[in-house]
Amino acid sequence: MKVLVANLGSTSFKYRLFDMESEEQLARGGIDRIGEGADSTCVAEIGSNRIEASQRIADHAAAVQMCLDQLTDPESGCLKSVDEVSAIGFKAVFAGKLSGIHLVNDDLLKAMESLADVAPAHNPPYVKAMRQLQASFPEIPLVAALETAFHDTIPEPLRMYAAPYHWAEEYEVRRWGFHGASHRFIGTKMETLLGSNDAKVISCHLGGSSSVCAMRGGKSQSTSMGMTPQSGLPQNNRVGDFDPFALRLVKRLTGKSYDELLDELSSEGGLLGISGISNDLRDIEKAAEGGDKRAQLAIDIYCADIKRYIGQYLAILNGADAVVFTGGIGENSDVVRKQVCSNMTFAGIELDEQKNQTAREEGIISTEQSAVQVWIVPTNEEIVVARQTAQVVKGE
């Protein structure tokens, strides 16, 4: 069985193709500037072959068609025909109570559309692309693996807000949590690395979008993102945790509407909003090294919030066996890892500075004396979605 995993943006399409018998990655690629009226850059890596092309791509259906054309190319492709693709899996974000893994149908798409204001950067492009692909490739099953599904195991006291109770029942207002595929991968991987199926792990998925998750036995017990992907840690340009009543004051002082202010918080906040430089931590770290105070403040706020959640989860789990850093920032920023783990010896966390500075691949970066192991583990969200997609197609 071969499964294509799709990662969609409003104007982008990234994919990986897996042979699920061996879980071997057969190909990966991406297309940008979809539907922008300009030529897209189309890159595919199929085995040892790298293919680059440039052409105008009208929509996501055309992007998938180009991807399939590359994969079935007689000379450089890895498929004999499109019929070999058993399903397309999507790392979908939010459908409220329709959490879990589902074949894409009208009920799911309507649920995602009705909650587009909760996940405005994610749901609209996914719904649009899924409808296009249903029409263009009716013979290929589409499967949505909702990001919230992994967090269904969180106990009710840690999922509910202290809002009016009927909000949860009638409006689905609760801490749903996201980055489920990444945290699920880390939970499964750490069971193997620690040699335990009951390990207490704190997973720090740090990147353009970031969250922290407490896990016991590979199951989510609490997570930093709440009702929406705008909450929890500061993101690249999203505010993270924020007192909503502050909006009333800013609305009065600026004359802006609530929608305008929420758009600002979700596009001009986070690392970008504090630093005033960039939403990319690499740029911010470089500026901080040069003495930029706002850049350093952005790093300090980001690390302080990560540490705050780790502290909460040490309490919830009654300690931890491991703290794991993953994602683009988690795997590559020794600055963030050092600052997050500093002054944590009370909790049994002691970082090895040399290992932290040099490590980029999977491995332990804590000292031998550290009671809690600190790891870098590259995540693989796509293989998680591929496994879930294969299960649905097989009727499991």
pLDDT tens for 239-289 read 999 999 999 999 999 999 999 999 999 999 999 999 999 999 999 999 999
Residue that has been written with the tokens 């998925």 in this structure: 205
Mean pLDDT of 206-225: 97
- With a CB cutoff of 8 Å and minimum separation 6, the contacts of 348 are 319, 370, 371, 372
Annotated binding site for Mg(2+): 7, 381
φ/ψ (deg, to 5) at 233 = -70, 155
pLDDT category, 52, cuts 50, 70, 90? confident
φ/ψ (deg, to 5) at 327 = 85, 170
Mean pLDDT of 134-147: 93
**pLDDT tens column, 144-201:** 999 999 999 999 999 999 999 999 999 999 999 999 999 999 999 999 999 999 999 9
Nearest-angstrom CA–CA distance, 87 and 91: 13
What does the pLDDT read at residue 269? 96
What does the pLDDT read at residue 283? 96
Q: Is 146 exposed, middle or buried (0-12, 13-18, 19+ CB in 10 A)?
A: buried
pLDDT at 125 over 90: no
Annotated binding site for ATP: 14, 280-282, 328-332
pTM, 2 dp: 0.92
Cα of 89 vs its chain's centroid, Å: 15
For CATH 3.30.420.40, the residue range(s) in the chain are 2-145, 180-376
- With a CB cutoff of 8 Å and minimum separation 6, the contacts of 22 are none
**pLDDT tens column, 10-22:** 678 899 999 999 9
Structural tokens at position 317: 């789990």
**pLDDT tens column, 344-375:** 999 999 999 999 999 989 999 999 999 999 99
Helices (H), 241-352: 246-254, 258-267, 270-275, 281-289, 293-317, 327-332, 334-341
**Matching CATH number, 180-376, of 2.60.40.420, 3.40.50.1820, 3.30.420.40, 3.40.50.360:** 3.30.420.40
The answer to whether the CB of 303 falls within 8 A of the CB of 240 is: no
| Domain spanning 2-145: CATH 3.30.420.40 | yes
Annotated binding site: 7, 14, 280-282, 328-332, 381
Structural tokens at position 340: 């997050």
